[in-house]
Amino acid sequence: MFTAGTSTTLAASDQPSRDKRRIPLAIKLIYTAFVAVMVPVYLRHYGPTNFLYFCDVAVFLTLAGIWLESALPISMSAVGILLPQTLWLLDFGGQLLGFHGLGMTAYMFDRNLPLFTRAISLYHGWLPLLLVWLLARLGYDKRALPAWSALATVLVLVSYFFLPPAGAHLPNPNAPVNIDYVYGFNDQAPQHWMNQNLYVVLWIAALCLLVFVPTHLVLRKVYRPAEPNS
């Protein structure tokens, strides 16, 4: 049987490991400062619909996860954007070298956008690294797959039914069209491979089966499970 003194000793010995997993206050403040700068700048240049991109939603989920020290929103962000942001980095690197790939990062070289606004978008490069570090601290919550899949489906449907399509001409030339690529990868014109409604259904299925599920399987294998109620 454990005595009261033994229980106290075990609790004390377990405390350092718990503290080690906590997120330092400096990280919380720095990340919050970044979001506090990003939001008004993006609102001014792109408008509010820009925040419906997966990557922007992940920014806010990460903010919540950092302050709550909760593995679920961090895990959801990781499932949703680790693979797409890898493609973003590859496309950006290709653009720097003069190669035109998917065109995901063409806006980073648009001189009509202020340099500072484009510099903020470099978070696409460092946010995945932050998520990897946060997962090491908090563990991976397997509930992230169904939670993010449901959220992503809602975002795609909202973007498709309520937001401007590819090729739309808007009063604000910087306002996003074709958010979350619901009309294909060309913002200048919708895809013409198939019926557009069918494309959206297949796009949701492709995201879930080819992006979210593989990422989930890797993260579940690499990271320890998150603690209950974390």
Instruction: Please give the residue that has the higher pLDDT: either 15 or 215.
Output: 215
Helix, strand or coil, per DSSP, at residue 165: coil
d(CA 41, CA 114): 10
Residue 10 pLDDT class (50, 70, 90 cuts): very low
In Å, the largest CA–CA distance within the chain is 74
Residue 20 pLDDT class (50, 70, 90 cuts): low
For residue range 100-155, list pLDDT tens digits in order: 766 677 778 888 888 898 899 999 989 999 999 999 999 999 999 999 999 999 99
Q: Is the pLDDT of residue 16 over 60?
A: no
Give the pLDDT confidence score for residue 66 in this predicted structure.
Answer: 97
Give residue limits of the domains in the chain: 24-222
Residues 159, 165, 166, 171, Cα dihedral to 10°: -110
Give the pLDDT confidence score for residue 109 in this predicted structure.
Answer: 82
Quote the mean pLDDT of the chain.
88
Give the pLDDT confidence score for residue 24 in this predicted structure.
Answer: 96
Name, in order, each residue with C-beta under 8 angstroms of 54's C-beta and a sequence gap of 6 or more: 80, 81, 84, 152, 155, 180
d(CA 176, CA 124): 17
Beta bridge partners of 184: 182
